[in-house]
Amino acid sequence: MVLQTIREYDFSGKRALVRVDFNVPLKDGKVTDDTRIRAALPTIKYILDAGGSVVVMSHFGRPKGKRNLEFSMAPISKKFAELLGRPVGLASDVIGDDVTKEVKNLKSGEVLLLENVRFYPGEEKNDPEFAKQLSLFGDVYVNDAFGTAHRAHASTAGVAQYLPSYAGFLIEKEVKFMAPLLENPDKPFVAIIGGSKVSSKIGVLESLVNTCDTIVIGGGMAYTFLAVQGHTIGKSLVEEEFKDTASSFLAKAKEKGVEVILPVDHLCGAAFKEDTPAIAVDSVEIPQDLIGMDIGPKTVKLVVAAVEGAKSVVWNGPMGVFEFDAFAEGTLTVAKALAACKGITVVGGGDSVAAINKFDLADKISHVSTGGGASLEFLEGKVLPGIKALEK
Ligand code: ADP
Ligand code: MG
């Protein structure tokens, strides 16, 4: 997958229409996590430094196709200006005559942030007419909204039909780290997949089994796999309707010679509660009245050993209920193993990234993806419409 990137365009005197993902958490009108805004700054600064002007667009929340100022970009524009270190104009709307004037007035080096693109139903419908109106605001289209790249919306995909289109640095980086995992990863390649459900991760398992040498299955989804192997899983999470899928996956992995690591011991709880004490179960078999809530120390050792020798590692999905302190150890130790690994390490998925941040290890990981759903779909081998539009 080769993308056309902003390095290949001369922005001098040009107006760039830049799609970013500023769908950040807000509390009492303040941005509580500015990671996504920071992630888009290199691209915007690059265009401004090259002598261009920038019209920025993003969605925020779910205004459902209506102008609802509860979802205005206003609080986000303040934080954006502060982080960019330059004034940012906030457009009066997304499209229309007023916005057209505001855009026309923009001079080289200036930035205008459009209102929430989801104020219009044409955005999520990928309406060609709406996309065309957006396209009139730029000489060139730049997409750096990796977190929304799995959606075929007007501002993420449709607009690329009307303008020369380039990937920003964030999308370039996401693809640079993730594409090789599906194509030709440095080996040995270890995939660590966890989280709550087989149903949401089976796609990524079935995709990565084609390129990886070892797959670790942890978290709540592991018990469905253990159950099909005939183990007792007590009251642990299980998806009965995915047992067949799980067993055919195990057969496929075996056929391909991919090693599968499943939990060999557990930390259990008597109830799914924050204050339930951890009970160590030093065997694969879980007693009838207990719930598996984290991988045990022997399993952790197996995972750490696999990661140690790996040249590439991808991790998606926590190993246990890490939100409860008594069941965070497995996830923490695996996160530390990735941080210590000398190979290429990639972490994707909302909760896994939250875990990495909670443990303050993000700067020791080669790449922490900014897109939960988008990174999952990417690793499933799906074509992301927002990225396809930028391919050479
Ligand atoms: P990600 O967002 O990284 O892709 P998921 O959303 O698939 O991860 O799963 C994260 C959730 O899985 C967490 O809320 C975590 O508590 C839950 N989880 C992990 N292990 C277990 C378990 N043993 N039982 C129930 N839930 C679990
Ligand atoms: Mg999640």
Mean pLDDT throughout 220-231? 98
Among 170, 202, 230, give the residue marking a domain's end. 170
Atom of ligand 1 nearest to the CA of 352: 3
The reply to whether ligand 1 has any atom less than 6 angstroms from the CB of 385 is no
Ligand nearest to the CA of 375: 1
Q: Is the pLDDT of residue 182 over 90?
A: yes
pLDDT digits (tens, 9 = 90+) for 337-349: 999 999 999 999 8
| 136 DSSP assignment | T
Q: What is the CATH number for 290?
A: 3.40.50.1260
pLDDT value of residue 309:
93
pLDDT value of residue 115:
98
The reply to whether ligand 1 has any atom less than 6 angstroms from the CB of 219 is yes
The reply to whether ligand 1 has any atom less than 6 angstroms from the CB of 352 is yes
Mean pLDDT throughout 336-364? 94
pLDDT value of residue 1:
81
- Report DSSP letters for 211-224, one per residue: T-SEEEE-STTHHH
Q: Are residues 131 and 201 in the same domain?
A: no
pLDDT band at 381 (very low <50, low <70, confident <90, very high): very high
Q: Are residues 144 and 288 in the same domain?
A: no
pLDDT band at 350 (very low <50, low <70, confident <90, very high): confident
Among 137, 170, 203, give the residue marking a domain's end. 170
Mean pLDDT throughout 326-344? 97
Q: Are residues 181 and 160 in the same domain?
A: no
Residue nearest to atom 17 of ligand 1 (CA): 196
pLDDT value of residue 142:
98
Atom of ligand 1 nearest to the CA of 323: 16
Q: How close is the Cα of 234 to the center of ligand 2, in Å? A: 24
Nearest CA to 364 out of 384, 343, 378, 350 is that of 343
pLDDT digits (tens, 9 = 90+) for 237-295: 999 999 999 999 999 999 999 999 999 999 999 999 999 999 999 999 999 999 999 99
Is residue 350 part of the annotated active site? The answer reads yes
Mean pLDDT throughout 218-228? 98
Among the options 61, 65, 203, 350, which is catalytic?
Answer: 350
Q: How close is the Cα of 351 to the center of ligand 2, in Å? A: 5
Is residue 122 part of the annotated active site? The answer reads no
Q: How close is the Cα of 173 to the center of ligand 1, in Å? A: 26
SS3 content of the chain, % helix, strand, coil (to 5): 40, 15, 40
Q: Are residues 288 and 325 in the same domain?
A: yes
Domain enclosing residue 306, as ranges:
177-379
pLDDT value of residue 349:
87
Mean pLDDT throughout 376-390? 95
Mutate to test the pocket of ligand 1, among 351, 356, 369, 380 (most ligand atoms within 8 A of CB): 351
pLDDT digits (tens, 9 = 90+) for 127-154: 999 999 999 999 999 999 999 999 999 9
The reply to whether ligand 1 has any atom less than 6 angstroms from the CB of 330 is no
Atom of ligand 1 nearest to the CA of 201: 7
pLDDT digits (tens, 9 = 90+) for 87-137: 999 999 999 999 999 999 999 999 999 999 999 999 999 999 999 999 999
Q: Are residues 228 and 372 in the same domain?
A: yes
User: What domain count does the chain have?
Assistant: 2
User: CA 314 to CA 369: how far, in whole Å?
Assistant: 11
Average pLDDT over all residues of the chain: 97
Long-range CB contact pairs, 40-44, < 8 A, 24+: 40/144, 40/145, 40/168, 40/170, 41/83, 41/84, 42/168, 42/169, 42/170, 43/6, 43/18, 43/142, 43/144, 43/168, 43/169, 43/170, 44/18, 44/20, 44/84, 44/111
Q: Are residues 240 and 115 in the same domain?
A: no
Q: Are residues 149 and 191 in the same domain?
A: no
pLDDT band at 370 (very low <50, low <70, confident <90, very high): confident
Q: Are residues 201 and 314 in the same domain?
A: yes
Q: Are residues 19 and 140 in the same domain?
A: yes
Atom of ligand 1 nearest to the CA of 321: 16
Q: Is the pLDDT of residue 371 over 90?
A: no
pLDDT value of residue 372:
85
Is residue 118 part of the annotated active site? The answer reads no
Q: Is the pLDDT of residue 17 over 90?
A: yes
